[in-house]
Structure 1
Amino acid sequence: MFRALNEYLESIASRDPAPRSRWEILTYPGLWAVGFYRISHWLFRGNLFFLARLINHIGRMLTAIDIHPGATIGKNLFIDHGFTVIGETAEIGDDVTIYQCVTLGGTNPTNGQGGKRHPTIADGAILGSGAQILGPITVGARARVGANAVVTKDVPEGATMVGVRARQVPVDADDYQKDFMPYGTPCSEVYDPATQKLEILQCEIEQLQKRLAQLMDQRDVKGKNKRALPEVAEAPCQAEGDLFDESPETGSDQKSA
């Protein structure tokens, strides 16, 4: 038990530079919320639903984090700060990081029956503050969901999702998936979708400018050729004409001869 707790504290310390010691991590509301969840989940699986909900409500009052006893959570879940909601049929893998004000929400089934209504979060995923993951979708392993993103469709493995509705950042996952990304939000400009669009537009403008310059050069070359062609053509014609044209003097001399 103590070994598992020690590994859990180490996993939190590796993702949060704020604590100076493990004792400080023991004061984190996210750690206590997960502890209350473990107890309520054990009671829930034993069909002691009222006791499970009672423990759940006590944990929510103390930590401001609401984790339904029926949710399935793997090892080393780190909930930073609080105000997070995790629904009944949500499934969370190992080493997942969730920041404040995140909701793993469910959708209302069209047939009126329960079943899988909440998302599945794979191993190593990071959910930024304010992210809303809605419905029975899957967030792939090592995926990052940026702050305030609203995700309603499956997220590929290793992808970074930002915006409302969330869209994937057009950057290869190999560029950033090796390192931990706080809040799941890329801060470098190279990962900013707005910057990506601006760079694409600048590239298109440069291409259009080059094409326009080529067309103007072709027009100038054609114009020069048109002005040069008559001079080249008239010269031999004028020379030939001189051979056959008779001046009045030449004609009169011939007649008198």
Structure 2
Amino acid sequence: MNEAVRAVRDAGDVRAVPGRPADAVGDALLIAIDEAGIPVGARQISAALVGQGQRLSESTVARRLRQLDAEGLTLQVGGKGRVLTPAGSRAVERLRRTSRSASLVSASEVHTAQDVLNLLKARRAIEPEAVRDATAHISDAQLTALRKVVAEHHERARAKERPPRDIALTFHRLLAAPAQNPLVQAMIAIVLDDSHDHVEAALDVILEAHHHSAVSVAEHDSIIEAMAGRDAERAADLMRAHLDRLLEEVDAFVARYDAELLERLLRLP
């Protein structure tokens, strides 16, 4: 489905481009003009949308094009049709960035066993780099905060008490916080989002089933000490090994029980 058609079909879930009101039809026309690559008129745009399963009359398209002209987003080129102005091109790029961001958030939703594995694989790709970057910038105060989180987790594991469902994710978030790379931070924000607290709760059950909760705490402690020693490569390697083991734990749990049991855990309040 092309982007112009998708913009019309998604009219019920419109995200406004910064600086202008949400307008699914207008956005669809901007994208259609951009995709054409040459000046196009109302008849061509209407026909293209009809050919792709969407019906916007030529008169509706013509009216909306005049509105886009008034907004400074499109420009009439003689009798050939409309092209995008520089402002229109910027609006289309913002629309595409918004669409990509929404797709990333949607892709990170976790409902199934395979979703859990996909999330852990994404974290394995991102978190070692975040740890490597963070090691160069982490402060003594941040190290102290991390050690407090690990100490609480260790006490809970030693007493065989259920840890708070977000304690491990809190550790991972604090660990990545000093990283300076903005792209890494943007990806970390997605894979360690608060919406994944239920995943961590399910992982706690899996680790407890294998009596491996204390192993995770020890791995967290090792990562902190590598960072405290400013050994970025060792810290990154330890994080990768930690996430590799979590992947193995999930695979073993699903093989021993079944994917449905993990999915029931994900649905727990």
TM-score by length of 2: 0.19
**Greater per-residue helix proportion:** 2
TM-score by length of 1: 0.20
Q: Which has the higher contact order (CA 8 A, sep 6+)?
A: 2
**Greater per-residue strand proportion:** 1
Larger gyration radius, structure 1 or structure 2: 1
